[in-house]
Amino acid sequence: MAVYTHLGAEELSELISQYDVGALVSAKGIAEGVSNSNWLIDTTGPDGHGARYILTMYERRIELSDLPYFLGLLDHLSARNCPVPRTIHDREGSAYRMEQGKAVALIEFLPGVSPTQPSAAQAGAVGEVLARMHLASRDFGRSRANTMSFADNLALLERCGEDRLGHIDPDLPAMLAPARAAAALDLDQLPQTNIHADLFPDNVLMLGESVTGLIDFYFACTGSMALDLATTHAAWCFDDQNRYRRDLGMALIAGYESVRPLENAEKAMLPQIAKGAALRFVASRAEDWLDTPDDALVTRKNPMQFVARWRVYDDLGENLFDRT
């Protein structure tokens, strides 16, 4: 999340008046993430007792034609008792509106805090909810191609170019070779569903060891369940020095398999998929590092963090996921 476009008080008040949520009380920009502008919105509430929402303006990497998929998936999962925020539709029944030529959506605010140093119990709870979400999304009536596939990641790194990657870090251009290897993997043979594809700790809200919200579904797509699990593993199971936390890794997978056991083909490919998942964030962070405006209210994220995690996956190989 971030704020790229600035909306004045009058503009925000007029926008909120198009929803049955009461009058605008306050709006605060959220200075996190890299793709969209976001505000924390407080209103008098539809019943006069106060209410809170998230207002999102879609800035980058999101096509208008994808919004019915993203927002519809939120409503689909929320209706199936997954901890996912529902979309607030305006008085005309639309899930999004246009403001300054950009799409905006009002989303339910869910309680909870994103863990900064997750425990094994929290990782296990996230694995369980991820599996529940996978099963619940199988009958969602829409589909969307993965625009951050391993082949897309390779293309992104190649567009950045070796010289520009080297300006970020001299070791970064060396990731092009493993990105080519990841692009050759065939994940279509594995069980598919609609996946989150970006489940970092800051996209999970928790109260204690309970998951209260999965948020920020704007990379969601139709794809391999094992890819979503591996992506979550790469995002959750390392400390702030990029050292592997085996207790978190085992708890995450155990929690997932308590709801949906992995198939043998998924287990066999998981080490290679995890390496590809790490490279996905190497690629996206490299692009963001090079393309984020200097005056944006956002902090760049270093792609070398996930180069370090890729190296862990490469060193440990199949032993990484050995639970014996």
Cβ atoms of 55 and 24 closer than 8 Å: no
A 10 A CB-CB count for 209 gives 15
* Tokens matching residue 316: 């440990």
CATH architecture of 9-108: 2-Layer Sandwich (3.30)
pLDDT at residue 160 in the model: 95
Residues 6+ apart with CB under 8 A from 35: 1, 2, 59, 60, 61, 62, 218
pLDDT, tens digit only, all 324 positions of the chain: 455 677 888 999 999 999 999 999 999 988 765 568 889 999 999 999 999 999 999 887 788 999 999 999 999 999 999 999 999 999 999 999 999 889 999 999 999 999 999 999 999 999 999 999 999 999 999 999 999 999 999 999 999 999 999 999 999 999 999 999 999 999 999 999 999 999 999 999 999 999 999 999 999 999 999 999 999 999 999 999 999 999 999 999 999 999 999 999 999 999 999 999 999 999 999 998 998 766 665 677 899 999 999 999 999 988 888 765
* Tokens matching residue 198: 């970006």
The domain ranges of the chain are: 9-108, 120-321
One fold for 9-108 and 120-321: no
In words, the CATH class of domain 120-321 is alpha beta
Cβ atoms of 251 and 282 closer than 8 Å: no
- Provide the greatest CA pair distance for the chain: 60
pLDDT at residue 205 in the model: 98
What does pTM read for this prediction? 0.91
